[in-house]
Amino acid sequence: MAYKITLIPGDGIGPEVSLAARRCVDATGVKVDWEIAEAGADVIGKYGTPLPEYTLASIRKNKVALKGPLTTPIGTGFRSVNVAIRKELDLYACLRPTRSYKGVRSRYEDIDLVIVRENTEDLYAGIEFEVGKPETQRLIGEIAALSQKKIRPDSGISIKPLSITGSKRIAKFAFEYAVKHGRKKVTAISKANIMKFTDGLFFMAARDVAKEYEGKIEYEERLIDNMCMQLVQKPELYDVLCLPNLYGDILSDLCAGLIGGLGIAPGANLGEDIAVFEAIHGSAPKYTGQNKVNPAAMVLSAVLMLDYLGEKEAAKRLDKAVAKVIAEGKSVTYDLKPDRNDPSAVGTSQMADAIIAAL
């Protein structure tokens, strides 16, 4: 029987990389009945929203989706559809395995880290108060009354909620992932010395969960600023990293940098029984429609999806095929060539062809 999976092509480079991933999955022999669902700026005219209800309903029904990147306007306009999907479906865990592939130019070798990022809380909760608005002035007044702390009247305010429930849930996910995938250590990361009541709470919750795994999985804590330096200097000391939303977002890109860039960094957003798989990279609008960018991150996200579905053998084969194409360095996109202007670089669809041939 075929798996029914929602495919959101995305915008910018999204449709090109999702098509590549779809073709690679189909080539593994795993039968998938793809249900295409739209989202993003391009569909506002048609549905009056960048996230149509039918798209959410499709993911809810199929429980698994493969998603291309979607553009978010900066500063003004609609809020991130990517964040909205995670919130609407309570996809509380963002999983980002970061592994070195031979043949990718990088300052580091043998990187093998897993980022587990909380996806629903923190400064990403979308609770914001715009500068100059009456409610913002009221909030500033309330805060002054409650905390004796003054906020400048010409401030905008973003709220950072971190709950014990959310923090324990993500810590539990990180430890369970470590157990299931033969990992040794979980490092919780925050800025607890400064934000005692939110980041401090995150450590407390993680510590609590860690007790259940004593003797099985090691636990340690790091401050985010120190962690940035540690990862650049001695990434080999770390294993599974568990972080609140914002730090997790930033550290994911740092780790993608350690393995040679966004072109090969996959991801998954997981809830209790729904999973959406997507690359870390965005819609790179300047490359739209050029058949230029690297499909590997999206294909490797599909590898995570196959693994999640229990199609372990197909997942392994596809992962190996990607690794082989990258290691050979012939049929790869510009970003994987020693010189970015190398005329022998192939396009998105040709790299997908090479992966399929290597399967």
Q: Are strands 218-223 and 240-243 parallel, antiparallel or unpaired?
A: unpaired
Q: How far is the CB of 286 from ligand NAD (least distance, A)?
A: 6
Query: Of 51 and 171, which CB lies nearer to ligand NAD in the complex structure?
Result: 51
Distances (CA, A) of 265 to 50, 74, 256, 285: 25, 23, 6, 18
- The count of residues in the chain is 359
Query: Of 114 and 265, which CB lies nearer to ligand NAD in the complex structure?
Result: 265
Q: Which two tokens stand for residue 297?
A: 């991150």
Query: Catalytic site residue 61?
Result: no
**Residues with Cβ within 8 Å of residue 224, at least 6 apart in sequence:** 189, 190, 191, 243, 247, 250, 251
Q: How far is the CB of 253 from ligand NAD (least distance, A)?
A: 9
Q: How far is the CB of 74 from ligand NAD (least distance, A)?
A: 7
Query: Catalytic site residue 247?
Result: no
Q: Is residue 282 near ligand NAD by the rule CB under 6 A?
A: yes
Q: How far is the CB of 266 from ligand NAD (least distance, A)?
A: 11
Q: Which 193-222 residues touch ligand NAD, going by CB under 6 A?
A: none
Pick the piece of the chain touching ligand NAD (CB under 6 A) from 87-95, 107-115, 164-172, 291-299: 291-299
Q: How far is the CB of 334 from ligand NAD (least distance, A)?
A: 8
Q: Which 71-130 residues touch ligand NAD, going by CB under 6 A?
A: 71-72, 82
In the set 42, 225, 273, 342, the catalytic residue is 225
Among 262, 268, 326, 345, binds ligand NAD (CB under 6 A): 262
Q: How far is the CB of 26 from ligand NAD (least distance, A)?
A: 20
- Distance, in Å, from the CA atom of 58 to the CA atom of 274, rounded to the nearest integer, reads 11
Displacement of CA 47 from its chain's centroid (Å): 26
Pair 118, 164: CB distance under 8 Å: no
Query: Of 21 and 217, which CB lies nearer to ligand NAD in the complex structure?
Result: 21
Among 335, 345, 346, 355, binds ligand NAD (CB under 6 A): 335
Query: Of 41 and 309, which CB lies nearer to ligand NAD in the complex structure?
Result: 41
Say how many residues touch ligand NAD, by CB under 6 A.
18
In the set 11, 122, 239, 249, the catalytic residue is 249
Pick the piece of the chain touching ligand NAD (CB under 6 A) from 169-177, 239-247, 276-284, 308-316: 276-284
Query: Catalytic site residue 335?
Result: no
Q: Are strands 128-129 and 185-190 parallel, antiparallel or unpaired?
A: unpaired
Among 281, 315, 321, 322, binds ligand NAD (CB under 6 A): 281
Q: Which two tokens stand for residue 350?
A: 């040709």
Pair 298, 17: CB distance under 8 Å: yes
- Distance, in Å, from the CA atom of 310 to the CA atom of 293, rounded to the nearest integer, reads 29
Distances (CA, A) of 321 to 27, 291, 309, 325, 352: 11, 20, 19, 6, 10
- Distance, in Å, from the CA atom of 17 to the CA atom of 15, rounded to the nearest integer, reads 6
End-to-end CA distance of the chain: 22
How many other C-beta atoms lie within 10 A of the C-beta of residue 352?
26
Query: Of 106 and 163, which CB lies nearer to ligand NAD in the complex structure?
Result: 106
Q: How far is the CB of 83 from ligand NAD (least distance, A)?
A: 9
Q: Which 6-65 residues touch ligand NAD, going by CB under 6 A?
A: 17
Distances (CA, A) of 292 to 93, 158, 308, 334: 31, 37, 29, 7
Query: Of 335 and 353, which CB lies nearer to ligand NAD in the complex structure?
Result: 335
- Reduced to 3 states (helix: H, G, I; strand: E, B; else coil), residue 151 is coil
Range list of H helices, the chain: 14-27, 44-47, 53-62, 81-88, 134-147, 164-180, 199-211, 224-233, 245-258, 296-308, 312-328, 348-358
In the set 67, 87, 172, 191, the catalytic residue is 191
Query: Of 191 and 281, which CB lies nearer to ligand NAD in the complex structure?
Result: 281
Query: Catalytic site residue 191?
Result: yes
The catalytic residue positions are: 124, 191, 225, 249
Residues of this chain that bind ligand NAD (CB under 6 A): 17, 69-72, 82, 262-263, 278, 281-284, 286, 293-294, 297, 335
